[in-house]
Amino acid sequence: MQRTAILLTNDDGIDAPGLVAMHQAISQWIQISGNQDRYDITVVAPDRGRSECGHSVTTTRDLAVTEVQSRWFAVDGTPVDCVRSAMTVLCPNASLVFSGINAGANLGVDLLVSGTFAAAREAALHGVPSMAVSHYRRPDVPKTWDHTGRWLKPVLDSFFREVMSTGNFDVGMTANDSEHRPGQLWNVNLPAIDPDTDLPPMFDCEVERKPMQRAGTLKDPPEVLAKSQSATGSEPMSRRVERQPIQIQSDFHGRPRSSGTDVERCFSGNLTISRISPYPA
């Protein structure tokens, strides 16, 4: 039997504990389900934290890749760079992609800036079923990872069952295909509750569309730059130039939320699953 290739990535970097937790969760699921001889896992992740970089990519230079341990690769690029590097070179036969576990929730309009979600979305655009996993955090709840495999097991059960039942499992898409089908794209968020909880309630829900409220502050004092170059860069100008920082603040935990959306459900202590189209509109 040909083994199925699973790709793992994230946006917190190759050394992030959430990536290790994701690897362990998938490995545990494979073992419990009796599929040890069916799947291979390859990790391709940024060489350092790349949070909130969205769907950005590197196009002006080559990417450097380092195999830090067997089947674990660090790429000096964004999460989307990692997926592209994997699907073209490092793990070209990837049939499933998991991105995470992100240290912090990715809910609602967060998805527009989330590198975790962007990595999963990139794979789904190429026909590969993908899942982004994030963990909501609060200061009053221990930030541990050992429980995540237990919480994710029913999610993985549903994901693998649905992917296989719909036939959206074998990639094999080429430029000659008459019709391109995107892969399934799930966005999963674990709640910030007692990690000793056996299993949090699980809900399928829509993504919150209300943006987060923000306030900006112009900070004092300004930094004075004595000189600045002319537009042509040929001669210095004598005019006074001030550079002043702007601080933009928001209340993540107090953000707007509508009943039944991913934000409201996750903030209420539930595990949320949102099935999303990878296309821009």
Do 129 and 244 reside in the same domain of the chain? no
For residue 155, tell me if it sits in a domain. Answer: yes
Q: For residue 112, give the DSSP letter.
A: G
HSE-up (13 A, CA, CB side) for residue 102: 30
pLDDT, mean over the chain: 90
Per-residue CA distances from 241 to 7, 99, 216, 218, 244 (Å)? 50, 44, 22, 16, 10
Give me the CATH number covering residue 151: 3.40.1210.10
Do both 224 and 98 map to the same domain?
no
Q: 280: pLDDT confidence band, cut at 50, 70 and 90? A: confident
Based on the fold, state whether residues 187 and 232 are members of the same structural domain.
no
Q: Which range has the worst mean pLDDT, 40-49, 118-127, 223-232? A: 223-232
1 has a pLDDT exceeding 70: no
Q: Is 280 among the domain residues?
A: no
Average pLDDT estimate for 89-118: 97
Residue in 124, 127, 210, 204 with CA at minimum distance from that of residue 170 = 127
- Residue 182 lies inside a defined structural domain of this protein: yes
Does 281 reside within a domain? no
Q: What is the pLDDT of residues 202-215, one digit of tens each?
A: 999 999 999 888 88
The count of domains in the chain is 2
Q: Which domain holds residue 238?
A: 214-250
* AA identity, residue 129: P
Whole-number Å distance between alpha carbons of 131 and 119: 9
DSSP state of 261: B
Instruction: For residue range 161-179, list pLDDT tens digits in order.
Output: 999 887 655 444 444 444 5
22's CB contacts (< 8 A; 6+ apart) are: 8, 10, 98, 100, 101, 133, 148
165 and 117 fall within a common domain: yes
Whole-number CA gyration radius for the chain: 21
Do both 18 and 61 map to the same domain? yes
Residues 201 and 235 in one domain: no
Helix 17-32 and helix 148-166: axis angle, to 10°?
Answer: 60
Same domain, 190 and 240: no
Answer for the pair 77, 58: CB distance below 8 angstroms, yes or no.
Answer: yes
Check whether residue 138 and residue 226 sit in a common domain. Answer: no
Note whether residue 9 is domain-resident.
yes
Distance CA 187, CA 258 (A): 18
pLDDT of residue 172: 40
Q: What are phi and psi of 274, to 5 degrees?
A: -120, 125
d(CA 182, CA 90) in angstroms, rounded, equals 21
Specify whether 133 is located in the same domain as 166: yes
* 77 & 44 share domain: yes
Q: How far apart are CA 98 and CA 245, in angstroms?
A: 38
Mean pLDDT of 177-192: 84
- State whether 64 and 98 are in the same domain: yes
Summarize pLDDT for 140-165 with one digit per residue, the tens: 999 999 999 999 999 999 999 999 88
